[in-house]
Chains A and B, each alone.
Chain A
Amino acid sequence: MSVTRKEVEHIAELARLKFSEEELDNFTEQLNQILAYVQKLNELDTENVEPLSHPVEGVNAFREDKVEGSVPRKEALKNAPAKDDQFFKVPKVIGGET
């Protein structure tokens, strides 16, 4: 398995990232190196092995339906690069919600 430069561009767009031509070449090469490394796992025969969704054992970790743990708005907005008194601010996005 490998990725093309075009796929890297597509993934970057999905993450709303912009790369220079040089960066795109670099990332394509590096991603392919990583994929080739992981490819090694394909040498194992997994014919009769159930896919593993979770690396740890155990099921049903729940909390009760209780209101607790909210933080003051000032705290919540503290690390935001752009904000006003009440909201996070982001560059204008137009169009419907996904």
Chain B
Amino acid sequence: MHDKYEAVIGLEVHAQLLTESKAFCGCSTKFGNAPNTNVCPVCLGHPGVLPVLNKKVVEFTVLMGIATNCKINSRSIFARKNYFYPDLPKGYQISQYEEPICEHGFVEIELSDGSRKRIGITRIHMEEDAGKSIHDISIDTLVDVNRCGVPLIEIVSEPDMRSPEEAYLYLSKVRQIVKYLSICDGNMEEGSLRCDANISVRLKGAEKFGTKTEVKNMNSFRNVERAINYEVERQIEILEDGGQITQQTLLWNADLNEVLPMRSKEEAHDYRYFPEPDLLPVVVDENWKKEIASGLPELPDIRKKRFTEHYQIPLYDAEIITQSKGIADYYEKVTAVTSDYKAASNWIMGDVLKVINEEKIDIKDFPVSAENLGELINIINKGTISGKIAKEVFPEMLKENKSPVEIVKEKNLLQISDASELENLVLKVIGEHPSEVEQYLDGKEKVFGFFIGQIMRQTGGKANPKIVNEILRKKLGEKKIK
């Protein structure tokens, strides 16, 4: 029955901007500081204070607008969104309502069948965050104002997504872009990226939208897809039973795995927006826009394409490596040292990302420098060490960022490529194992690997496998003739 329906989904994404200070005062934006220490009369909402806009907030928002193909409005104004809640000392949130700074943009997502789909962006506007209420402990509610006034952008999409999967892909794309631009760390669990969804369903082919609900409180990527899935199914079931959808705000409950309605009192949306008289209009002229645009980094999709063309690595590799700007930058630093581009992507996708994911660290804190990884690849290719030994050298490099050449010297891991030395070794091993030689001569090819293993064991894995292979084959061959 579900095939009859399609979902119509729009997302509102809030991204916390990575500025040092708050949007309208000089307090620090640092996460995790002691409660009520990043505060001043402005963000505490004292009477008679004046907000002054942080220039970087405008620059970051315009940068996001440019990266998402938005029209940058030359003039935009702030508005007061009035509501009464203890974590909002002023009694209003400074936001933008009419005349936001960016409008009419789009991003492209790649669907599982490989096709691309454009998701429209209605608007991107600047606003401030609220504080934090803590309800659990005492009989009172405790309020921490640290987060009050921290700058956010709200990115509002068109209702262009038709499945929970598309919503997930769109959110991932937005997250990737804000991270590439270094304007937001994209951490959903810590709340620096938040997402609300507007969801309705309709019969396929219908033009009119169904009644929508808004789902909030989806505080992880997994929850977003799950919550939207749940809500779409719920709506379809109601319609199939002949019921009607009630327009309402729902909260996702990750423990119960379901959406629950907000109590109607909390839902009294009556924000009485009006222009914020304390802040002057923001004017972004062509010159300033150009200046901001000059700071635009190469965006992930373009970079991915360039990696497949310039470095000739598979699309799969390019996709993984350009997932994060830091990893892509690291890759390019490695390829500045070694011209084995594929080996570079293999090492990063394998050993490097494994450590990063396991230790949950950022690439900028990764202990092995790109230069040293490039050098490691080079000495493998030169035959100084074998690939197998490299897997021993790498953990040493992780311990302290030393040059692999130095480690190889210190640990005496240099590959043995000297033919006469290896020949003696081969003859010794053959002499020690007459029955295996017999088996080999009887046609048991597998025994060949046994001899290689013996030689590797005796050299601590340092024998050059290519040369050992040649000599061993030759020597065993000579036995055959006899």
Contacts and interface: CB of A to CB of B under 8 A. Distances in A.
Contact of B86 (A53, A56, A67, A93): A93
A14 B272 CA distance: 10
A67 B36 contact: no
Contacts of A77: 36
Nearest to A93: B141
Contacts, number: 147
A77 B282 CA distance: 34
Interface stretch (B4-12, B51-59, B167-175): B51-59
Interface in A29-79: 53-56, 58-73, 76-77
A65 B20 contact: yes
Given A61-B52, A69-B26, A90 B36 contact: no
Contacts of B279: 61
B283 interface: yes
A91 B40 contact: no
A10 B397 CA distance: 67
B266 A90 contact: no
Contact of B34 (A71, A73, A89): A73
A87 B135 CA distance: 12
A76 B375 CA distance: 55
Contacts of A86: 34-36, 142, 144
Nearest to B284: A60
B211 interface: no
A82 B272 CA distance: 29
Contact of A96 (B44, B141, B217, B268): B217
A22 interface: no
Contacts of B86: 88, 90, 93
B interface residue count range (under 10 / 10 to 19 / 20 to 34 / 35 or more):
35 or more
Contacts of B87: 97
Contact of A92 (B141, B217, B281): B141
A21 B39 CA distance: 40
Contacts of A60: 280-283
A interface residue count range (under 10 / 10 to 19 / 20 to 34 / 35 or more):
35 or more
A67 B28 contact: yes
Given A59-B280, A90-B140, A76 B54 contact: no
Interface stretch (B77-85, B298-306, B468-476): B77-85
A86 B56 CA distance: 30
Interface of B: 19-21, 25-28, 34-41, 44, 52-56, 58, 75, 77, 82-87, 91, 130, 133-135, 138-145, 216-217, 251, 262-263, 265-266, 268, 270, 272, 275, 277, 279-283
21 contacts: A15-B84, A53-B77, A54-B77, A54-B275, A54-B281, A56-B280, A58-B280, A59-B282, A61-B53, A62-B58, A65-B21, A67-B26, A68-B26, A84-B138, A86-B144, A87-B144, A89-B142, A91-B140, A93-B86, A96-B216, A98-B83
Given A53-B275, A84-B138, 18 more contacts: A54-B275, A55-B277, A59-B75, A60-B282, A63-B26, A65-B21, A65-B56, A71-B41, A73-B39, A76-B36, A76-B145, A77-B36, A84-B142, A89-B140, A93-B141, A94-B135, A95-B262, A98-B266
Interface of A: 10, 13-16, 53-56, 58-73, 76-77, 82, 84, 86-98
